[in-house]
Copies of this chain bind each other. A is one copy, B any other.
Amino acid sequence: MRTRKLPPVGWIGAGRMGFEMAARLAKGGADVLVWNRTREKAAPLQKHGAKVADQLTDLASREIVFCMVSTWKDVKEVVQKLLASNEKPKLLIECSSISLEGSAELRQLLDAKKIQYLAAPVSGNAKVIKAGKLSFVCSGPKKAYERARPLLNLIGINSSYVGEGELSRIVKICHNVFLGVVTQSLAEITVLAQKAGVPRHAFLDFLNQSVMGSTFSRYKTPAFVNLDFKVTFTPHLLRKDMDLGLDAGRRFEVPMPLAAATRDLIQSMIGQGWTEQDFATLLLQQAEASGLKLKPENVEVGDGLS
């Protein structure tokens, strides 16, 4: 029933996050045609009801096309190919983490073709999507947002509309600046609690259930407790986002002392060679600065997602 009302969707990008997003959309009943550079990665989406396109241009006839790739360079490349087709979608929803400048350039490209454009970056990682807790922050024409909303609701738990143009991009940057500051502060207090005698898992168990706990603090807990730093977001990427935040702070004349201090701690971490693991190795740097050698606690702790 519901699917009758849902417009046909094209989906570009079946990476770690794009895959899970498309899966939720398909499972929710939408008619989804997926394209991915490496076709095989998209294939398993078929078991959720999605179709897989051979060519990117096959998606041009879809009413709404989502884009979830890596960098602005990738976004530009795939959108230009899409626009080279005879047909064109009515609405493009771009969810990758790209800069304001990239987003504005994309808007020009699409405006020229009279395609509506919704900038819709997200909060969460692949596991968060799977757990149905992804949230979107959207900007662009309000009508585009209204059109997208039923689809966004199938993918995640919530979407917020923050205004015209590329405003959602700056909100996403603010979100990531906050994430950096929160992680460093968690590192400071977790190491302090541990040196005082409180095991990390006990400390974080309380914090996660306290008013300060967040989905984020919960899903970072296994890393902090058992020192599993498999990368979800690299120190270089976090530094880049902190710098985007500080750049915005300069432009809008907003001093950001905590963001700036955190940025330099991330730089120190990179300078000391912690570059290949997750940014949560901020905990390791904090421990070293405190004369402490951390060991995994080997305690089974939940991530609040599964």
Binding site for B on A (CB under 8 A): 123-124, 128, 133, 135, 137, 157-158, 160-165, 167, 170-171, 174-175, 177-179, 181-182, 184-186, 188-193, 195-199, 202-203, 205-207, 209-217, 219, 243, 245, 248-250, 252-265, 267-268, 270-273, 286, 288-292
Contact = CB atoms under 8 A, between A and B. Distances in A.
A156 B273 CA distance: 44
Given A167-B197, A170-B196, A191-B254, 17 more contacts: A133-B211, A163-B198, A163-B199, A163-B202, A179-B212, A189-B256, A196-B248, A210-B215, A211-B215, A212-B215, A243-B250, A249-B267, A253-B267, A255-B290, A257-B260, A257-B264, A272-B291
A203 B252 contact: no
Contacts of A272: 288-289, 291
A187 B230 CA distance: 31
A294 to B, nearest CB: 13
Given A171-B203, A261-B261, A182 B212 contact: yes
Contact of A135 (B192, B209, B252): B209
Contacts of A219: 211
A261 B270 contact: no
Contacts of A290: 252-255, 267, 271
A167 B211 CA distance: 19
Contacts of A181: 181-182, 185, 258
A268 B250 contact: no
B212 A193 contact: no
Contact of A258 (B158, B162, B188): B188
Given A212-B214, A256-B264, A260-B263, A162 B203 contact: yes
9 contacts: A179-B212, A181-B182, A196-B248, A212-B216, A254-B267, A257-B261, A268-B289, A271-B288, A271-B289
B259 A271 contact: no
A178 B212 contact: yes
Contacts of A197: 163-165, 167, 170
Contact of A170 (B124, B192, B256): B192
Contacts of A182: 181-182, 185, 212
Which 7 A-B residue pairs are closest in the complex by CB-CB distance?
Answer: A123-B210, A160-B206, A268-B289, A255-B264, A174-B189, A195-B252, A255-B267
A36 to B, nearest CB: 25
Contacts of A175: 189, 206-207, 210, 212
